[in-house]
Amino acid sequence: MTKAVRVHKVGGPEALVYESVDVPAPASGEVRIRQHAVGLNFIDVYYRTGLYKAPGLPFIAGNEASGEVIAVGPGVTHFHPGDRVAYYHNLGAYTGERNIPWEKLVKLPDHITHEQGAVLMLKGLTVWYLLHKTFKVEPHHRVLIHAAAGGIGLLACQWARALGAHVIGTVGSREKAELAEANGCDHVILYNEEDFVARVKQISRNEGCDVVYDGVGKATFPGSLSCLKPRGMFVSFGNASGPVPPFSIAELNNHGSLFATRPKLNDYVGTRKELLEGADTLFAAVINGKLHVPINHAYALKDAAKAHIDLESRKTTGASILKP
């Protein structure tokens, strides 16, 4: 038996129920891990509310964590008890112990802590594919990052800056603005006090941005399109304020022959080779000092509902973890 947080009926934070669950012996190809830290993400909220559909009810929430291998199932040769590991995997992370297919795990380098590992798998790999694969950020690109003080935002600002880009970020408070600036933002826009489209045009001398990374969704659309230069790319990767409403594809033409994409991590780490490429690049960026991993909030696993309330009310900055 182990303690886990399950959702029996989708809904508000009260839908997260802390309870005992059975963990069977690992099946063929599976690894049993004792978890040290679990990453908190907005996608956890989407599953809890039913915006994203879980395969069935009840389900254990959560999509990224780190821990230690305590047993391996038949046929597993790549991992052994005692290995420090981390993963991104759809659902099942809000728990003390779990079984997981070995192909989803990566080994944590010695210089990466469990806490860092737990938040790097979903957030870090997301930033890796956004900046290296979806739109390859290069020196002199001008990029706009919405929610620049969030878990993904702070990592994205740092990495975009390290790649030589000119970084503009939007945030919701002065405290968050200072955080974004400290993490590589050249210009920070307070979207509650300023018209972010007008400010982007002012900052860019009416040139616009090469790419907009938008994890906010409804609240920043269609403004994001107006921030792009002709042939720029709109990357919509999240719905923190609700989904982007349906729009006519002609809008891309009207705003200057734009490109638009709605990527997800699963499609960039679908093979073991892709997962390891992303993890290796990410861990190297942390170890060589390009990326600092700001973990600003830690909650006990049993307090997952409180963590969700704080996340949804924009009280958190940087990454947050749950401790089993």
Length in residues, the chain: 324
CATH 3.90.180.10 domain extents, the chain: 2-121+269-323
Tell me, what's the pLDDT at 240?
Answer: 86
Q: Please check whether residue 95 is in contact with residue 265, taking contact to mean a CB–CB distance below 8 angstroms.
A: no
Compute how many other C-beta atoms are within 10 angstroms of the C-beta atom of residue 312. 16
Rounded to two decimals, what is the model's pTM?
A: 0.92
pLDDT in tens, the chain (324 residues): 999 999 999 999 999 999 999 999 999 999 999 999 999 999 999 999 999 999 999 999 999 999 999 999 999 999 999 999 999 999 999 999 999 999 999 999 999 999 999 999 999 999 999 999 999 999 999 999 999 999 899 999 999 999 999 999 999 999 999 999 999 999 999 999 999 999 999 999 999 999 999 999 999 999 999 999 999 999 999 998 889 999 999 999 999 999 999 999 999 999 999 999 999 999 999 999 999 998 999 999 999 999 999 999 988 888 999 999
Tell me, what's the pLDDT at 317?
Answer: 85
Question: In the chain, which residue ranges form alpha helices assigned H by DSSP?
Answer: 42-49, 114-119, 125-129, 151-162, 174-182, 196-203, 223-226, 250-254, 272-287, 304-312
CATH number among 3.20.20.70, 3.40.1130.10, 3.40.50.720, 3.40.50.1820, domain 139-262: 3.40.50.720
Tell me, what's the pLDDT at 18?
Answer: 98
Tell me, what's the pLDDT at 318?
Answer: 84
SS3 state of residue 133: helix
How far from 196 is each of 156, 192, 217, 299, CA to CA, in Å?
Answer: 19, 9, 14, 33
Q: What is the CATH number of domain 2-121+269-323?
A: 3.90.180.10
